[in-house]
Amino acid sequence: MGEALDPAVLAATRWVLGGGLVLGFAFGVVAARANFCTMGALSDVVNMGHTARLRMWLMAVAVAMAGTTALAWFGLADIGQAVAQRPVLPWLSLLLGGLIFGVGMTLAGGCANKNLIRAGAGSVRSMVVLLVMGLFSYMTLKGLLAVPRSAWLDPVALPLGEWGWSQQGMHVALSRLTGWEPRLALVVLSAAVVLGLLAYVLADARFRADRRKMVAGLLLGAIIPLGWYVTGHLGFGENPQTLENVYFATNTRTIESLSFVAPVAYSIELLTLWTDASLKPSFGILAVVGVILGSAAHALATKTFRWEGFASLHDLRQQLLGAALMGFGGVTALGCTVGQGLTGLSTLSIGSLIAVAGIVLGSVVTLRWMLWAADREA
């Protein structure tokens, strides 16, 4: 009780929770406005050869990376404390989890982010998908599915810490290869990647003319370093009971930015066990609520809010299977298309690159299989 009443702790906690809600709300509004969806971007490329949404996602990655690097350079947040930077690389979990998540989000017609957006706009189908995804992600975190994950997958890892790596960032590899100081390697590598991404993104004249997607990429990318700043700077302080510096109001007990699979599970846990005094709202939970509210606000403002159900029994089966796979895969891969595809990549994490590669591969293979199946039935 003493800790909860401490003014400094209360202030830090309020910053983190309020920041999660506001950033989630902003993400929901912008993503709904621009139809932001990584699975949709991959579907556009595979099915129609359109790259506009892919370029929007890559622009967001570039902006998120630039902002995160700036935070690290100026010492405004210790990005090295993020889960994505732990000096252990569970490559099998990341790759397999990413593959499974990619298959799942394609079957479900969208990733966790897209289903939150649709739920806010009135999609009962997405609400069911989120509930099933949350259940399976909770089972993978703490329940039945946590056993094979922790016993068979997570132990297959590279012990980078034992090899002298302080983090698993790609900049650490560059530092060790060149002898550069890690901070310099971070800035050089980040600048090279950011410029390369922006060169590809802006090479398309049609995308440059699409102001909505351009602005959305900038805003969505900027939200990620703001999340790091809120949890890693405003939410970082001394615990009055232990006198240790801690990160307040995050599920991982360390610095966080946006991610949606595990936070949906923690949201369900909090709602289900509301009277359990050990459970508290967190940055991730409030961000989930914020995305739904932001999407709802956009839908109401644009008069696009409408109730939507499942199209058929086949649609129901496919969506539920996809939701289950997203729940297991998202936790196993330590994040989703936002948690790894934006937040993780912003730190130049090797593990995030592996997870995102798995997600993209799983989604593209599933999209091509669905095309083949549709052509066969025609």
Per-position pLDDT tens, the chain of length 378: 344 568 889 999 999 999 999 999 999 999 999 999 999 999 999 999 999 999 999 999 999 999 999 999 999 999 999 999 999 999 999 999 999 999 999 999 999 999 999 999 999 999 999 999 999 999 999 999 999 999 999 999 999 999 999 999 999 999 999 999 999 999 999 999 999 999 999 999 999 999 999 999 999 999 999 999 999 999 999 988 888 999 999 999 999 999 999 999 999 999 999 999 999 999 999 999 999 999 999 999 999 999 999 989 999 999 999 999 999 999 999 999 999 999 999 999 999 999 999 999 999 999 999 999 998 887
| 3-state SS assignment for residue 305 | coil
153: its two tokens: 């997958």
The H or E element containing residue 236 is strand 236-238
Contact 31, 111 (CB under 8 A): no
Beta bridge partners of 89: 158
> Where are the domains positioned within the chain?
2-377
DSSP H helix total and E strand total for the chain: 16, 2
Cα(368)–Cα(239) distance, integer angstroms = 52
Cα(256)–Cα(227) distance, integer angstroms = 7
329, 312, 314: which is closest to 363 by C-alpha? Answer: 329
36: its two tokens: 């932001």
- Looking at residue 3, what is its pLDDT? 44
Cα(256)–Cα(250) distance, integer angstroms = 7
- Looking at residue 377, what is its pLDDT? 83
Would the CA dihedral through 55, 57, 59, 62 be positive or negative? negative
Cα(333)–Cα(201) distance, integer angstroms = 27
